[in-house]
Chains A and B, each alone.
Chain A
């Protein structure tokens, strides 16, 4: 990589691209967010300078393991060998057999501990190296024990250990102390490639540094291609080059019908309406006209259905749910505001870096009450931190610490999974087993979140609205106080007229007569006054305005508790203290908190968020563009979209991935730009393949896909005509089978505040898009669950698509499916007079195409015995309905 290339990406340039793009699109939004951005890029500039230096030093792509720091290398002839062997033990064995993990009571961190051994006895018989348990188990000579279990040592690595054992297995004195996983304060350290003192270098013995995903995003040269007609844009050049180098003919393009259906489902999650499909049919030929497709794409990107569909991907990643989980799975009546925020952000094409910043630290971006909708949204976005499961009952058993620990774990793991594409769950209990992440890294990131607290009672109304509400309520309160005092005086006057009847016990003050008793003794006009006063009071109470709330997280104003590495992840076993930080391999120093605008907020999360969206961190952009690619092409350029670590897949097209990630950032992190660029490519528009994958190009080939649970249900409702137009607001609750409603410990224990039960919405509101259905943790909507809607307690990075019999039962017989079939049949019957006309209409509506003669015949055959409902139900069940080519 050259410095020239890199300089294209300078913050100034990027900012100006960003501005150009924005000015073209939404001037207002730019002005709003520039302030925040200016702040974040002040930091980024410093980071970038650092990064350029890093890349220069590293030179080419092959990163050599850097030996651990030992400036006073002993002159011992075997010193090199000893060091090599110990580094091997560190990288291959010590994640399980280290100081803290010590599986099978075995540690390999010193000669003494190896001689002592573990449950199976000593590891080394130094006089007879080949008889040692160490050699037997790593060389595959033992029947019982093969070590390491996952990645055996290579022959050359084995040779090192063999020689080392034979030489007496010496351990240099200064290597006996295991490296500390936490660097003490002082002089700043560099990244692991450039600074041998970086803790990651020490922990993993210089290994694991060649993880591709942590290298800076490259700006690749566009590949040279032969068949330039096929490629529509730069993206296609990468793909075409792959086909050409594999010697495979580039694929044909999908026909119009397929492409239109594909675009509708991929961009809006819904099938094209009859009218839209007909318009395309009328326009003529079977091949797609690229101008026409472009205008369709632009049109679909501007629909509100775009955000409703794409929000699902994000909600999967951030474990969105409308309930707490655990024993009673209490409903969260305000969670939907976060869902609507995501939809709004996508539809407004909020830059993705801003989107991330708001979710991690929206509260720290401004002071006081929100002044505008943008600030209000930034607050609502902190729901990201609040969405995980929460055990409301933990306090009853003195388990608040466990519950807090679970919250912290959830935040670190969700951040890793959703934003960074790495498995931080793996380094909670010990150093990561595959990746260059230490256990301390997990807790450094945890420390960024250490100050958060729930803020569900914080009003989110705009500042002037809050002022109005306050004034309004103050006036009302005064009026209420006045009325109450008047009423009291009148009642007192009535009370004084009442004869006292408590003469026998004069010491005891008489019980005050009730209001009702007094009213009974009042005269006509007094009664009238009292009644009107009461009515006025009631009216005044009702006029009180309530503040709007959401599921929020803000920083506690109390001192933030220290964060410790937890021995084996157990919150009751704290070890070393850690400072807030990020992945040590990239930056091992304590993270300088950002200057949070909100008074009293530590700025730790803001600093984390700024790092996550900064050029110093190459993961975020790569991970996100890969997700969008996966969403559109069925499979990511990195097949393991949730794991960009060493155990995950390596990118099939690293240049394309980086080109896309780099361009995405240049385009101001515009999600719509990214989606548009991909769907307008020849790569996306190719015809689907049904046969065995072709070696070498399988990853850029299109295969048919089943609709997701939500797409399938939404398509069924849309085609039948049942789909409502709901586009925001509190979730709808579908009917559940009677036996579920009558038998569920939480439902049976439902309370006055109506949080534990199930409360079906009015029938006509239930047929909304699936994104607006209530998503509880412990009770799922059956049809969505059976079609692989994921578990929502943890992030889901990729949907599965399984095929099981209960899906058939659900789509044939569930009440909503049957209702859809009936409504669809009504539409079909009303559409024409003859069977043929009606069948044609049904196929148009469900599949956006005309039926063949034999299909018409088959439908007519069923009609002789059965009803239109059954024909329509069949169409909503067939493979063609459930799959897009």
Chain B
């Protein structure tokens, strides 16, 4: 790939400048038919170079909005009139019995045998008159752009295992996360920015094992972009070393090139030389992408950057950064609405827990959908709003709800997704009774939206072909999500 350079500068230009042309040629070759892919071929010099999908797909990038802690479906997007009518009454025996023989037999553990109606007001929205609780007025405005999955299930009723499964497909830590898989499969269009970005204050329960690259190479590690201060860890040197950065880098590269002279052919050395140039360019591009002050006043207001509540402002900045990132070709952005240690984990007093959290997130999320839509980015950006599980219809503690992995609601938008509603829980919102959707199916569907057949995306780990959707091959794409 490399010709022997006759000057250091020219060599560096060859490394840096060549990227654009290459990227373009790869993109031009993107229109390929469905074909079985044997293995993702990584260019060691540019592991994040864009790779064509297997088939033409609308979605080019993904924004995941992760509501940490388990928001209640029957208090947000899964309206249950029966629950409203039977407030205070015991859960009917046949509903409780429906859990028997399923893996959800213990989801009511720790709750009272007393149904709790949603304490929030509900109204109908959009063409189909879908019921949405008063907690999400901004999201409700875009209900006609959203596809709700009402029957999602997790294999554990505890945060970390369910959350690991949602991210990686396995209730145990150690596997690679969705964002790592997507960037491993497709690379990223912008080589000056990280391909997989996570944005959070406190991050998900269960920590970094959620969004980790697991067994995938470090090139597919997420980068945590901070919305305040220096956007990337160790992006800038201390002040006294900042003045001569280019000079320092020139010395490093000159010594590297002398060292390389007797080692031509060993491309790792070239890759490492290139990585220092990329790091240098990243300083400028990461600063630029984090500079949301460049947005118009109207945009900033729409994202609630002038909101009274600092946590709303903080989540607004993250949503706005997410748009700026995908706009610049970043493949995968994952946001967590976790500003504290609890998240939506309303074991007690659901009103006190959910009300402020909805206030922190609803307006920014509504603004993100509107903004992507106005800029024509929504078609090629898949937005997913999800959580590790929902909550029980029966009461826990004082007007709280317990975790419920047996059936809960998430939504998708953009990226070729057809608005609508899929699946259903029973009349109290306890158990998915129509089209139960496993996280595996969700993963297969998200990969499909990006033009990847989930069975073909694998990585050899000690002789085992690991896949996001598991080795059993039981995952099913939810084709009706795409109309």
A residues at B contact (CB < 8 Å): 96, 101, 103, 146, 149, 325-327, 329, 389, 391, 393-394, 396-399, 402, 406, 409-410, 417, 423, 425-426, 429-430, 433-434, 568, 570, 572, 640-643, 645, 647-648, 690-692, 703-704, 706, 737, 739, 743-746, 748-749, 777-780, 782, 785-788, 790-791, 793-794, 797-798, 800-810, 812-814, 818, 852, 854-855, 858-859, 861-862, 865-867, 869-871, 873-875, 877-880, 882-883, 885
C-alpha spacing A808/B277, complex, angstroms = 9
Chain B residue contacts of A434, Cβ below 8 A: 463
**CB of B126 within 8 Å of the partner chain:** no
Chain A residue contacts of B341, Cβ below 8 A: 745-746, 748-749
- Structural contact, A397 and B157, CB atoms closer than 8 A: yes
Q: Ordered nearest first, which 3 A-B pairs have the shortest CB separation?
A: A778-B207, A643-B463, A642-B462
- Structural contact, B254 and A883, CB atoms closer than 8 A: no
- Structural contact, B172 and A389, CB atoms closer than 8 A: yes
* Closest Cβ neighbor of A429 among chain B residues: B472
Chain B residue contacts of A423, Cβ below 8 A: 462-464
Known: A704-B268, A805-B278, A807-B275. Contact between A326 and B463, CB under 8 A?
no
- Structural contact, A326 and B256, CB atoms closer than 8 A: no
Instruction: Give B331 Cβ to nearest chain A Cβ, in Å.
Output: 15
Known: A425-B464, A814-B234, A818-B237. Contact between A748 and B202, CB under 8 A?
yes
- Structural contact, B214 and A791, CB atoms closer than 8 A: yes
Chain A residue contacts of B110, Cβ below 8 A: 396-397
C-alpha spacing A409/B173, complex, angstroms = 13
Instruction: Give A795 Cβ to nearest chain B Cβ, in Å.
Output: 8
**CB of B28 within 8 Å of the partner chain:** no
- Structural contact, B158 and A397, CB atoms closer than 8 A: yes
Chain A residue contacts of B36, Cβ below 8 A: 146
State the main secondary structure of chain A at its contact with B: loop
Known: A423-B462, A862-B248, A877-B252. Contact between A791 and B209, CB under 8 A?
yes
* Closest Cβ neighbor of B215 among chain A residues: A791
| 6 A–B contacts from the bound complex (CB under 8 Å) | A397-B156, A643-B462, A706-B272, A813-B238, A874-B252, A878-B259
**CB of B351 within 8 Å of the partner chain:** no
**CB of B94 within 8 Å of the partner chain:** no
- Structural contact, A640 and B463, CB atoms closer than 8 A: yes
Contact with A along B221-247 (1 / 0, CB 8 A): 101001011001111111011011001
- Structural contact, A808 and B276, CB atoms closer than 8 A: yes
**CB of B251 within 8 Å of the partner chain:** yes
**CB of B57 within 8 Å of the partner chain:** no
- Structural contact, A777 and B209, CB atoms closer than 8 A: yes
**CB of B255 within 8 Å of the partner chain:** yes
* Closest Cβ neighbor of A327 among chain B residues: B160
- Structural contact, A782 and B157, CB atoms closer than 8 A: no
- Structural contact, B219 and A802, CB atoms closer than 8 A: yes
Most buried by A among B202, B339, B455: B202
Known: A748-B340, A866-B248, A873-B248. Contact between A813 and B202, CB under 8 A?
no
* Closest Cβ neighbor of A843 among chain B residues: B255
C-alpha spacing A94/B268, complex, angstroms = 43
Instruction: Give B39 Cβ to nearest chain A Cβ, in Å.
Output: 12
Q: Interface size (B, Cβ < 8 Å)?
A: 92
* Closest Cβ neighbor of A859 among chain B residues: B251
**CB of B368 within 8 Å of the partner chain:** no
Chain A residue contacts of B250, Cβ below 8 A: 862
- Structural contact, A870 and B248, CB atoms closer than 8 A: yes
- Structural contact, A406 and B106, CB atoms closer than 8 A: no
- Structural contact, A326 and B255, CB atoms closer than 8 A: no
Known: A423-B463, A779-B208, A804-B219. Contact between A737 and B233, CB under 8 A?
yes
Q: Which of B20-79 contact A (CB under 8 A)?
A: 36, 44, 47, 68
Chain B residue contacts of A780, Cβ below 8 A: 208
- Structural contact, B463 and A739, CB atoms closer than 8 A: no
Q: Which of B169-228 contact A (CB under 8 A)?
A: 171-174, 194, 200-209, 212, 214-215, 217-219, 221, 223, 226, 228
C-alpha spacing A692/B265, complex, angstroms = 7
**CB of B287 within 8 Å of the partner chain:** no
Instruction: Give B325 Cβ to nearest chain A Cβ, in Å.
Output: 16
C-alpha spacing A885/B161, complex, angstroms = 43
Instruction: Give A378 Cβ to nearest chain B Cβ, in Å.
Output: 28
C-alpha spacing A748/B341, complex, angstroms = 6
**CB of B264 within 8 Å of the partner chain:** yes
Instruction: Give B311 Cβ to nearest chain A Cβ, in Å.
Output: 12
- Structural contact, B158 and A399, CB atoms closer than 8 A: yes
Please pick, from A391, A791, A814, the residue contacting B158 in the complex, using a CB distance under 8 A: A391
- Structural contact, B173 and A326, CB atoms closer than 8 A: yes
- Structural contact, A706 and B258, CB atoms closer than 8 A: no
- Structural contact, A326 and B244, CB atoms closer than 8 A: no
Instruction: Give B190 Cβ to nearest chain A Cβ, in Å.
Output: 12
* Closest Cβ neighbor of A812 among chain B residues: B237
C-alpha spacing A568/B276, complex, angstroms = 48
Chain B residue contacts of A406, Cβ below 8 A: 171-172
- Structural contact, B258 and A854, CB atoms closer than 8 A: yes
Chain B residue contacts of A749, Cβ below 8 A: 341
- Structural contact, A648 and B255, CB atoms closer than 8 A: no
Instruction: Give B402 Cβ to nearest chain A Cβ, in Å.
Output: 8
Known: A786-B218, A870-B248. Contact between A645 and B474, CB under 8 A?
no
**CB of B12 within 8 Å of the partner chain:** no
C-alpha spacing A665/B379, complex, angstroms = 63
**CB of B338 within 8 Å of the partner chain:** yes
**CB of B407 within 8 Å of the partner chain:** no
Chain A residue contacts of B455, Cβ below 8 A: 149
**CB of B473 within 8 Å of the partner chain:** yes
**CB of B307 within 8 Å of the partner chain:** no
Chain A residue contacts of B272, Cβ below 8 A: 706, 803, 879, 882
Chain A residue contacts of B209, Cβ below 8 A: 325, 777-778, 791, 793
Instruction: Give B187 Cβ to nearest chain A Cβ, in Å.
Output: 13
C-alpha spacing A793/B259, complex, angstroms = 38
C-alpha spacing A348/B276, complex, angstroms = 42
| 7 additional contacts (CB under 8 A) given A327-B158, A809-B279 | A96-B473, A691-B264, A794-B174, A804-B221, A813-B238, A852-B258, A862-B244
Instruction: Give B254 Cβ to nearest chain A Cβ, in Å.
Output: 5
Known: A744-B207, A870-B244. Contact between A813 and B234, CB under 8 A?
yes
- Structural contact, A878 and B255, CB atoms closer than 8 A: yes
* Closest Cβ neighbor of A745 among chain B residues: B341
Chain B residue contacts of A869, Cβ below 8 A: 240-241
Chain B residue contacts of A430, Cβ below 8 A: 472
- Structural contact, A813 and B173, CB atoms closer than 8 A: no
- Structural contact, A690 and B103, CB atoms closer than 8 A: no
C-alpha spacing A843/B47, complex, angstroms = 32
- Structural contact, B252 and A326, CB atoms closer than 8 A: no
Chain A residue contacts of B47, Cβ below 8 A: 802-804
**CB of B271 within 8 Å of the partner chain:** yes
**CB of B284 within 8 Å of the partner chain:** no
- Structural contact, B251 and A874, CB atoms closer than 8 A: yes
**CB of B142 within 8 Å of the partner chain:** no
C-alpha spacing A410/B161, complex, angstroms = 15
**CB of B358 within 8 Å of the partner chain:** no
Most buried by B among A703, A746, A813: A813
- Structural contact, A813 and B206, CB atoms closer than 8 A: no
Known: A743-B203, A803-B268. Contact between A572 and B103, CB under 8 A?
yes
Instruction: Give B277 Cβ to nearest chain A Cβ, in Å.
Output: 9
Chain B residue contacts of A429, Cβ below 8 A: 472
Contact with A along B453-483 (1 / 0, CB 8 A): 0010000011110000001111000000000
* Closest Cβ neighbor of A572 among chain B residues: B103
C-alpha spacing A791/B206, complex, angstroms = 14
**CB of B290 within 8 Å of the partner chain:** no
**CB of B318 within 8 Å of the partner chain:** no
Known: A647-B463, A813-B237, A855-B258. Contact between A690 and B266, CB under 8 A?
yes
- Structural contact, B473 and A103, CB atoms closer than 8 A: yes
* Closest Cβ neighbor of B157 among chain A residues: A397
Chain B residue contacts of A852, Cβ below 8 A: 258
C-alpha spacing A791/B210, complex, angstroms = 11
Chain B residue contacts of A797, Cβ below 8 A: 462
C-alpha spacing A818/B248, complex, angstroms = 13
